[in-house]
Structure 1
């Protein structure tokens, strides 16, 4: 037992808290085979199999027959009306994809009362409470002009994609709380909201319904409402996770504190405690010592909702174990600090042991709990876990054209899902238009673009650092790092994956008067200049490749993804409508969309100069 206890503590000090999924509340997808999930749908709403939007047509979507996508196209003939779900919700997590038409406007009303704005905000530099992802403002006609709207919340940054591209939204909502008499005792909150993978809201308190709500009153339960009277919008993959079941409670807590560096669980009846008593909370602060102590809590766990629960134990600066009903749920052995158990309703014995043995670790004790119909909550000290005392973030803005070289870690598909690959000669190029890119000097290629903030340099500059930085905004990756140019025996030959036989040699970059780089390299015996510039209005990037005396059968790969769909003569939608590629000048050469390793690739022969744009 002695060695196992100490080894477990060492392992647990090195890991953070992570939730097991087995005990998570059930997530339900809203069926989109028809409109039966909604109350009295108006004529502007329909179910479709595919939808696209044009970058030059206001408030217009092209719809194809089928199922799986919810589309709203209000017009004079089809007056737009709001769409309400048949179900009502209290606390809820909402996750969905949506697509905006050019110039369009819509919204999602939580409980029919609190609007998260959906809007074509492509290229907006300074978002307000009226732009995409915002919490729309409240409204009071009795207030003076210019002050009628109030308490709106702009998103932290604008990470909106172009019209016709799918955008991903996640919202964690906490409903208002009422006492037994119906009096509101706690405001509604948006606990967390992400747009396109970027946090745009956190712990936003909603003091009342926003403008255009179903009513001025607030309720414990209400329908989800999709705004339908403004503009063309499409939705898919709408997933709802409902909460509201009663949480387990710890009652009749007693504690004992023992002084010493306990490498094994002691026999408590053989040593006197330094302190003992009753407590209303679970905390490491009950100990009068900062190091070398053990706290033992005993009490009753009161469970009102039977089912499967996961407990994540946070024992910062040490280790511990937890027993429920006299059985070990979170053991000291192993690397994980979590345990999953099926519990009946009722009262059962509870025991928690925390041994503080690491001198440099700040003491903290808590349990993250998730269960049936119960959103994750914390019992004890508000510490996320582990011994991560790092400072940050150290953010780098780009108020002017800015270059920062670093390592860059990219997520790429692996045998067991996503893994990271490190680009060691990455050049990150930021712009005041709030669109940025990373260039891989070892491959002569753009490897990612993003919209929003520039870089988080904390991993590179804090303490000793590891040399890497990471994008702050919404990122569009381009897959495994690869060469832009390759010499192919025929248009169906596999793309080149290494430098063997290419003669590839990077030659750095030159800056123009606006501090924008043009990259240079040699490949297949020819010189290449690679100039990447921001498209007007921050719509994306235009790239111009100039190849001197190009080799025979030289091709450029412009895109790869799960799908590549032509939408006009020179425009393509890539990777499930994630971004556009527009061919501006191919020197008279014809692009080819081909199959490669289960993916699609867009390639084009290169005969001197090639210019194309990435629109996102």
Structure 2
């Protein structure tokens, strides 16, 4: 966001704006990390610096270091707590692992034998992330598993547990070998960490759904006043479309790191002491955004921006420190419960499902507007950008959430995966290069690549056809076992040598024809006899496979294992 000079000098909200500077939001560190070297190591567990295993390997290779713990049958205690907590850790397993996560209630959760976890688990030898939200002594004194998340997918929620046998979270592998890293947790005590030191001032201006605060500052002022707590209902009686600029002094009770959480139905943002902590965003209720700030003890200037849109209105601001539950800084009525909206999901059960939609790639500002997502009954799915013929993402589990496409106006028109997702290089896989050292293009135009259409086979799976530099390409992606197999076939006379970029990022050779990608997030597998070229370009590693053309045709094939 850019603050214009007109906004800073405007008469409407000059006081509100004068201390606002736009800076990058603080890095999010919602769960403070614990060094695994500080955990008590039972017999059979050891500290290492790196681990390696293939999808079929029953053992781990290790390198010296202190950032990872590996072990087997003896339980490793990850956390002891008598308070509510949230925790997250990464885990890597061998092919024969039988990993158990035991909760403070004493209830074990089996990764291999539970009904809801195996379909979301990554292949052996890959890092996967587990997140646990836990409440001690919930309804009727029983502990509650508030949330269990595996690889970004919530698999259990609000599960009431019986018994209290451990008071600890432990991890053990009854059969193979397991590795653990990046252990983070936050205890959740109900304690106030900050208070408003004076009434909160506000200015209401005319007009809603204003995503640029500079524009809002030029609007007609409807009302100015104060309120004891942050409250969007101060706009009661005003026109339906409005924007509110709040300004207050928040007293931090002690020096330290604070986390802020903003939850709104509409457009909102947060600044603390003139620094942008949560940038402007347009969200529905129940889709909070967070940001961190380091504060001294005492008063701090807090500014909140809220602009009403077509979403159900609401505004809530929470603050917390390590070891505390989020504390509301708003009036209770200001943040209503989100309207229950049933997710509009699409499942690929008997036959594949094909959906054209927009897709948002993480880190990109613009949507990919010509995307095809394919769901398969095998539970492995993918999205292609048809403009760039880029394989954007692959996932396993349920297929697609189409709520933002089909609910009400469907304004975002976005499809999102319902399963455990890996994000892939967002560029075309095929390109002609005059030599092997030419930089791979970030994008290609329609003069280079022309999408021609698709054909659906008897099983319901698509074959895509497009033109590339004088050749015709047909592409298929099919689930096989633990992988998606991508086959690209060419016919014609390309203008230069054709290469297939099968991977880009941080690459680790596991064995001939098998590489682990980006810190073991997924594998790529190809013919071990292929003449692969590993190269370094602009600080990034790439794997290129040449496409051998003979009598006007050629093909290349590789698998994505995850």
Q: Same fold, TM exceeding 0.5?
A: yes
Matches within 5 A, 1:275-294: none
Aligned counterpart, 2:420? 474
**SS state of the match for residue 208, structure 1?**
coil
Provide the C-alpha distance between the structure 1 equivalents of 2:468 and 2:368, rounded to a whole number of angstroms.
Answer: 20
**SS state of the match for residue 405, structure 1?**
strand
The structure 2 residue matched to 1:168, chosen from 106, 129, 153, is: 129
- Contact persistence 2:31–2:88 (CA under 8 A): no
Quick one: structure 1 residues 307 and 582, their matched pair in 2 at CA, closer, same or farther if it must change by over 3 Å?
closer
Q: 1:499, CA displacement in angstroms?
A: 3.8
Q: 1:171, CA displacement in angstroms?
A: 2.0
Quick one: structure 1 residues 335 and 471, their matched pair in 2 at CA, closer, same or farther if it must change by over 3 Å?
closer
**1:204 lines up with 2:159 in the alignment:** yes
Provide the C-alpha distance between the structure 2 equivalents of 1:614 and 1:315, rounded to a whole number of angstroms.
Answer: 39
The structure 2 residue matched to 1:576, chosen from 509, 519, 526, is: 519
Q: 1:486, CA displacement in angstroms?
A: 1.6
Aligned counterpart, 2:55? 55
- Contact persistence 1:92–1:241 (CA under 8 A): yes
- Contact persistence 2:547–2:555 (CA under 8 A): yes
Provide the C-alpha distance between the structure 2 equivalents of 1:367 and 1:49, rounded to a whole number of angstroms.
Answer: 40
The structure 2 residue matched to 1:554, chosen from 498, 502, 525, is: 498
**SS state of the match for residue 207, structure 1?**
coil
Provide the C-alpha distance between the structure 1 equivalents of 2:359 and 2:308, rounded to a whole number of angstroms.
Answer: 33
Q: Identify unmatched segments of 5+ residues in structure 1.
A: 10-19, 74-79, 122-126, 133-157, 178-183, 215-221, 255-260, 269-278, 294-300, 322-327, 412-417
The structure 2 residue matched to 1:592, chosen from 521, 533, 541, is: 533
The structure 2 residue matched to 1:427, chosen from 372, 386, 389, is: 372
Say how many residue pairs are matched.
509
The structure 1 residue matched to 2:462, chosen from 490, 513, 517, is: 517
Q: 1:204, CA displacement in angstroms?
A: 2.9
Q: 1:543, CA displacement in angstroms?
A: 1.7
Deviations 1:52-94 (A, max 9, x none): 233334x432333333211114xxxxxx221235864522221
Provide the C-alpha distance between the structure 1 equivalents of 2:305 and 2:93, rounded to a whole number of angstroms.
Answer: 54
Deviations 1:168-207 (A, max 9, x none): 1222222236xxxxxx964322333322122223333323
Aligned counterpart, 1:218? none
- Contact persistence 2:463–2:475 (CA under 8 A): yes
- Contact persistence 2:269–2:280 (CA under 8 A): no
Provide the C-alpha distance between the structure 2 equivalents of 1:436 and 1:526, rounded to a whole number of angstroms.
Answer: 28
**1:407 lines up with 2:358 in the alignment:** yes
Q: 1:344, CA displacement in angstroms?
A: 6.7
Provide the C-alpha distance between the structure 2 equivalents of 1:320 and 1:227, rounded to a whole number of angstroms.
Answer: 43
Deviations 1:253-280 (A, max 9, x none): x9xxxxxx99333599xxxxxxxxxx9x
Provide the C-alpha distance between the structure 1 equivalents of 2:447 and 2:159, rounded to a whole number of angstroms.
Answer: 54
- Contact persistence 2:314–2:335 (CA under 8 A): no
- Contact persistence 1:364–1:381 (CA under 8 A): no
Q: 1:160, CA displacement in angstroms?
A: 1.2
**1:107 lines up with 2:100 in the alignment:** yes
Matches within 5 A, 1:183-194: 186-194=141-149
Aligned counterpart, 2:222? 263
Of stretches 507-516 and 87-96 in structure 1, the one that deviates more from structure 2 is: 87-96
Quick one: structure 1 residues 464 and 282, their matched pair in 2 at CA, closer, same or farther if it must change by over 3 Å?
closer
- Contact persistence 1:83–1:228 (CA under 8 A): no
Aligned counterpart, 1:152? none
- Contact persistence 1:305–1:372 (CA under 8 A): no
Quick one: structure 1 residues 464 and 355, their matched pair in 2 at CA, closer, same or farther if it must change by over 3 Å?
closer
- Contact persistence 2:69–2:180 (CA under 8 A): yes
Aligned counterpart, 2:46? 46
- Contact persistence 2:56–2:124 (CA under 8 A): no
Aligned counterpart, 2:215? none
CA RMSD of aligned residues (A): 5.1
Q: 1:544, CA displacement in angstroms?
A: 1.8
- Contact persistence 2:29–2:292 (CA under 8 A): no
Provide the C-alpha distance between the structure 1 equivalents of 2:141 and 2:259, rounded to a whole number of angstroms.
Answer: 27
Deviations 1:571-590 (A, max 9, x none): 22122111111114x8x641
Q: 1:226, CA displacement in angstroms?
A: 2.1
**1:603 lines up with 2:558 in the alignment:** no
Aligned counterpart, 1:545? 488
Quick one: structure 1 residues 501 and 520, their matched pair in 2 at CA, closer, same or farther if it must change by over 3 Å?
closer
Aligned counterpart, 1:274? none
Quick one: structure 1 residues 500 and 370, their matched pair in 2 at CA, closer, same or farther if it must change by over 3 Å?
closer
Aligned counterpart, 1:275? none
Provide the C-alpha distance between the structure 2 equivalents of 1:579 and 1:445, rounded to a whole number of angstroms.
Answer: 17
